[in-house]
Structure 1
Amino acid sequence: MSMRRALASLLGLIGLGAVLAGINMVAEARLADLQIDLTAGHIYTLSPGTRRILAELRQPITLRLFYSRDLGTRAPSYDGYHQRVSEMLDQYARLAHGMLKIERYDPEPFSDAEDKALSFGLQAVPIDQSGAQVFFGLVGTNLLDDERAIPFFQEQRERFLEYDLTRLVYELSNPTRPVVGVMSSLPIDGDPRLMMMAQGRGRAGQPWIAMSLLHQSYEIRSVPLKVWKIAPEIQVLLVAQAQHLPEETQYAIDQFVMRGGRLMLMVDPQSAAQADLPGPGGMPQTDTASDLHRLLDAWGVLYDPNQVVGDLTGAWRVRASPGDRMTVTDYVPWFNIRDGINHDDPATADLSQITVADPGFLTKKPGADITLTPLLTSSPRSGLIPAEKLRIDPDPAAILAGFKPEGGPRVIVARLHGALRSAFSAPPSAGAGEQRPADLPPFKDHTDGAANLVIAADVDILADRFWVRSQDFFGQQDAEPFSDNGPFIANLIGTLAGGDALLGLRARGAGDHPFILVDDMQRRAEAQFRRTQQDLQKHLDETEKKLASLREGAGQQGASQAVLTPEQRAAIDAANQEIVQTRQKLRGVERALREDIDALAETLRFFDIVLVPAILTLIAIGLGLLRHRRRGRARS
């Protein structure tokens, strides 16, 4: 009886195993694309844009994943990251319906796989002193032998994995270089006349370095400032400091957007780069503002060309005016942005610092049915400065003394997303002696879907002086970047060129924030010093005028030598005493500034060296005593 029960149980288990195996085979064949993502943040759920790109593939693409298992052994966190990359690639292959092939390699030392990884330009990372190297990268190729690669999957960029993979596939499926049109009143793409005058010395007349980066990835076409329509092959239009555009050009830009064209619009209340360029008479230019009010207002964006944003946080240290007691000072209209970078956008996620100069700001028009997503913002310690104060020989000390940080932060660069209406009701009339082109496309009064634009209230982001240092290296000009302005522009153009599919991909994480308490304290104290200095200097100037008038009055009495009356002498003595007191007050402010910074530094040093180790020691002692008591109770 027991043997029969045992045999029946065994047969039951075999049957159950067969049923489970059959269910698994059916699920593998029929339900491979069915997923339920229960993770926080839905890290395994692909965006509609990715699904559309994969479904529309028209030529085979091969993706080769190189992963050294030794990397996972040495750093287990990479093992989990590799698993996620591998699973996402499998998901891509399923959605591509046979147009995407995945190959996997373990590039062991001195193997063919390692040689292949190096030939593709993947990054080899040493893991010990023996010279052993590991790989974790991806290479994609198409039928035309075009290559795109991710040299190494950085852990810091894991939250942008879908964006990086989708962009690689998109570029391989669209191998022709996107066409970017450039319209500007500035010589951002080079000036042959200045280049001839420079005769090979320096970078005068050459394309700005930010434009050189764009030339590496895109076909750049110059668009004139007077045009009735934008060429249909232009996918992205960069309008940077295009001044005094005629009505027909504004209409061309408007209709380009209405027809789904991608626009990056850069305006500026005061272009420091343009102010450095010689005007018609050789003097510095004063017409340095740009505004496209008609277009921005119709699209729901407010921008004031008469106000410049200044910021105490990250302000540049510049040489003070001649005769100033302090040799350098903060120039608040020029500042570095660190915390104000949107790290949830793929174009700005990896950037650490952007420098702006005399920027304006953007706000959403009340009632506008658009989304304005900030990419760059000033700090809470920002304020507004009238643009006219910066156009002719600005005084950095006077600007700092009169600066009031209030109303911040302010949006300097933003993405605009939403359905837009045209700024025109019909094509404009042709000027005298002109006529509209016969092939002018029909007028469109609205976008068919949601438009995606980038609007910047600063064009100086493009200028070399605000993000690279040029130095001579054995007769060659070498540019060393200190800010991420160039990659910032290139990344933004890249997301626009990729269309809605790439624009819809966003990060699921947050960036970190540097510690700037000491910097903030120093800038607040210096701003206070500058205000005090300006008030006292004004009082001294008035006193000197009074003394000059007293001496002049004594000289008019006819004496060969001016004889001062007791009252005049008393006034002079009082002024001298006032000068001494003024200098003492200035030294007191400087001393207080230094003492506050030194005190904070000492506090931080004490916290790092003494307090934190002491707290950890006390916690360890407490845990030890608690464990000792528990053991004593267990023994008793």
Structure 2
Amino acid sequence: MAKEKGYDYKKALLSITGLIVLFLILIFVNIIVSYANIRWDATEDNTYSLSEGTKNILSSMTAPVTIKLFYSQSNPDVPVNVKVYAKQVKDFLSEYTHAGKGQIKLEIYDPTPDSDEEEWAQKYGIKPMMTPHGKIYCGLVFVSADKEELIPWLDPSKEQVLEYDLTSIIQGFQRPEKKVVGIISSLPVFGTGGRPQFPGQASGSEEWLFVTEMKKIYDVRNINPSAQEIDPALDLLMIVFPKNLSSQLEYAVDQYVLSGRNALIFVDPLCVSDKSQGRQQFIRSSGASLDNVFKAWGISMNSSEAVADFGQPTRVRAGDNRLEDNPLMISVRGAAFNKKDVVTAGLESMLFPVAGAIKKTGAEGYEFESLIYSSKSAALMDAFKAYLGVEEMKKDFVPAGERFNIAVRVRGKLKTAFPDGRPELKESDSKPPEQIKGPHLKEGKKLATIIVVSDADMLADQFYVQRRNFLGLAIAEMFNDNLNFLSNASEILTGSDDLIGLRSRGKLERPFTAVMELKRQAQERWLAKEKELVKQIEETNQKLRQLEKQKDVSQKMIISPQQEAEINKFKEQRQKINQELKQVRKNLRADIENLGTTLKGINIFLMPFLVSVTGIGFAIYKQRKFRKK
């Protein structure tokens, strides 16, 4: 019995030894993990993980890139959202350096006041945020050989396109020469030097602004609409209002795309910028599409129908100087953009004067994605009604209850619209040059990406830019994102397949949806009570006015017993409703506090509880196993 009551030194020694061994194992495992560079992204949208397209681009780099992050980390006045975003950017850039396999170098600088780092930030063009306590820097500089690219301010609101911005800049260093863009247009987008041929026609002496802007980035070439070939050296084919294109040029477009090249196409059911018909444009619709080619690509657009969107109209001045909301001039905002696509993720507003509806015709094997769409308060109507006024449009208008596609992306190995080969030459066609005689493609050999927009007028200057003179300088101010859309689409389509495949990223910020839902419900109740109070005020005031009319002139300054009773009744109702409003707000705070307490309890106690239960269960299991022995 004494032995049983005695202290078991052997057991104690084994327990102490076991703890020491366990401690050493933990240290050893920690050292191994730290050197193993193991990465695990546990976020819902893989916020810190690179896409496969980015990894492919980084793995094929030939020109090394140095990324310099200028961030005022030591400044205590950095806004919380900027601080969180800067931390995310640093972590994300570390993924780039890891995937770059030595080709990407990351340097981080803290530009404190009057420091060399601040001087370099200013030389590079990093734009600081001005605060009462100093400047806050948060920008990136990319350096490769003698070339530099800049993101002057890392805007947290552009978090979704961060990966695309970083990857596109890095890829740009790998191919320094300008990309080649060819433009086919039946509109005078390159400008004309001649005088107007008829009253009302614009002189067209200047090229359109979008062409001028594209020439700053690309080697832009004008392809005559009467041409019969397309230079295979083009990186992107852009077609703007393809009116009356010859079958020879349509065939050239078809074969160009089937060769695996990309295209950006703007069609239109009624082009208000088309002045080629003179006054006849008011007699017949001035539309243009590529019906034959579109059919083979699995899409269609009826060039005689336009989308009338009473959910997204544009306020314009009518002929009699009245302001009216025109549903055929669609002002696209917010939810009408595909936020999951990098082309449209960062856009806020666009203007489409008379746009058509692009439909998928059921062709299999192609990716079809809507980029911009109408609201559900839209319907199709004859495009010619654009000349008849809003009142005429309202007649017999019935919302279709569905969204119509204004801009789409089609991707895949497309099929030809000319299965029998090149169409026969017409008498008006010139003989095609020898160099374009080649193998006829019936199906695409490579993936091609086509972006189609159902309005060409959106590229006309008056629909996205205001020009003014300031101190002798001509200034162009953009008032929507029409040009930004073109810039995004062109940049995507002139990039590699890996860059085209990049998607808009999820946001790191996660809202408390349960709290927001509680607030929303309470706000709805509050608004309902507020409306009820306002309604009762109006009803009471109306009754008071009616009582006032019943009195003669000598009684105007005297409150009748009936008026006094009404006023007292209203005061009692107002006091009651105010008490109810206070109770709603009190319940709202209580619901939110209870939810917070529940979440806090889960965070504090749930994990220790689970660990404890697991430990107790394991101990019971071991004890039972020991007893069986």
Query: Above 0.5 in TM-score?
Result: yes
Distance in 2 separating the partners of 1:610 and 1:161: 49
Mapping for residues 347-362 of structure 1, pairs under 5 Å: 347-362=343-358
**Residue aligning to 1:394:** 388
**Residue aligning to 1:530:** none
Distance in 1 separating the partners of 2:593 and 2:232: 75
Answer yes or no: is the 8 Å Cα contact 1:300–1:369 preserved in 2.
no
Distance in 1 separating the partners of 2:108 and 2:592: 48
Mapping for residues 51-62 of structure 1, pairs under 5 Å: 51-62=55-66
Distance in 2 separating the partners of 1:613 and 1:147: 59
Answer yes or no: is the 8 Å Cα contact 2:312–2:374 preserved in 1.
no
**1:106 correspondence with 2:110:** yes
For these two proteins, the number of residue pairs brought into alignment is 516
Q: 1:140 is matched with which residue: 139, 142, 145?
A: 142
Q: 1:470 is matched with which residue: 456, 467, 474?
A: 467
CA deviation map 1:575-621 (0-9, x unaligned): xxxxxxxxxxxxxxxxxxxxxxxxxxxxxxxxxx9987763356569
CA apart distance, 1:506 = 1.5
Mapping for residues 216-295 of structure 1, pairs under 5 Å: 216-274=216-274, 277=275, 279=277, 286=284, 288-295=286-293
- The amino acid across from 1:125 in the alignment is M
CA apart distance, 1:189 = 2.5
**Residue aligning to 1:180:** 181
**1:455 correspondence with 2:452:** yes
- The amino acid across from 1:45 in the alignment is S
Distance in 2 separating the partners of 1:623 and 1:89: 37
- The amino acid across from 1:345 in the alignment is D
Answer yes or no: is the 8 Å Cα contact 2:72–2:78 preserved in 1.
no
**Residue aligning to 2:477:** 480
Kindly tell me: are residues 83 and 471 of structure 1, through their superposed partners in 2, closer, same or farther at Cα, counting changes over 3 Å? closer
**1:327 correspondence with 2:322:** yes
CA apart distance, 1:375 = 1.2
CA apart distance, 1:353 = 0.8
Answer yes or no: is the 8 Å Cα contact 1:329–1:397 preserved in 2.
no
Distance in 1 separating the partners of 2:468 and 2:23: 73
Distance in 1 separating the partners of 2:453 and 2:462: 18
Unaligned runs of 5+ in 1: 516-608, 626-636
Kindly tell me: are residues 10 and 407 of structure 1, through their superposed partners in 2, closer, same or farther at Cα, counting changes over 3 Å? closer
Residue 192 of structure 1 aligns to a residue whose secondary structure is coil
CA deviation map 1:91-120 (0-9, x unaligned): 211222211111111111111111111111
Residue 439 of structure 1 aligns to a residue whose secondary structure is helix
Mapping for residues 491-530 of structure 1, pairs under 5 Å: 491-509=488-506
CA apart distance, 1:509 = 4.1
Kindly tell me: are residues 158 and 71 of structure 1, through their superposed partners in 2, closer, same or farther at Cα, counting changes over 3 Å? farther
Q: Normalising by the residue count of structure 1, what TM-score does the alignment of the two structures yield? A: 0.73
Unaligned runs of 5+ in 2: 1-6, 512-519, 521-577, 595-629
Residue 171 of structure 1 aligns to a residue whose secondary structure is helix
Answer yes or no: is the 8 Å Cα contact 2:188–2:204 preserved in 1.
no
Distance in 1 separating the partners of 2:173 and 2:195: 39
Answer yes or no: is the 8 Å Cα contact 1:142–1:173 preserved in 2.
no
CA RMSD of aligned residues (A): 3.7
CA deviation map 1:195-254 (0-9, x unaligned): 999xxxx99522222233322222211112133332122111110102111111111111
**Residue aligning to 1:154:** 155
Q: 2:434 is matched with which residue: 433, 438, 442?
A: 438
**Residue aligning to 1:369:** 365
Distance in 2 separating the partners of 1:204 and 1:7: 96
**Residue aligning to 2:377:** 381
Answer yes or no: is the 8 Å Cα contact 2:258–2:446 preserved in 1.
no
Answer yes or no: is the 8 Å Cα contact 2:45–2:506 preserved in 1.
no
CA apart distance, 1:65 = 1.0
**Residue aligning to 2:83:** 79
Distance in 2 separating the partners of 1:330 and 1:305: 23
**Residue aligning to 1:50:** 54
CA deviation map 1:528-582 (0-9, x unaligned): xxxxxxxxxxxxxxxxxxxxxxxxxxxxxxxxxxxxxxxxxxxxxxxxxxxxxxx
**Residue aligning to 1:214:** 214
Residue 327 of structure 2 aligns to a residue whose secondary structure is strand
Distance in 2 separating the partners of 1:476 and 1:13: 79
**Residue aligning to 1:415:** 409
Distance in 2 separating the partners of 1:611 and 1:209: 58
Kindly tell me: are residues 112 and 611 of structure 1, through their superposed partners in 2, closer, same or farther at Cα, counting changes over 3 Å? farther
- The amino acid across from 1:330 in the alignment is D
Residue 475 of structure 2 aligns to a residue whose secondary structure is strand
- The amino acid across from 2:406 in the alignment is I
**Residue aligning to 1:534:** none
CA apart distance, 1:21 = 5.9
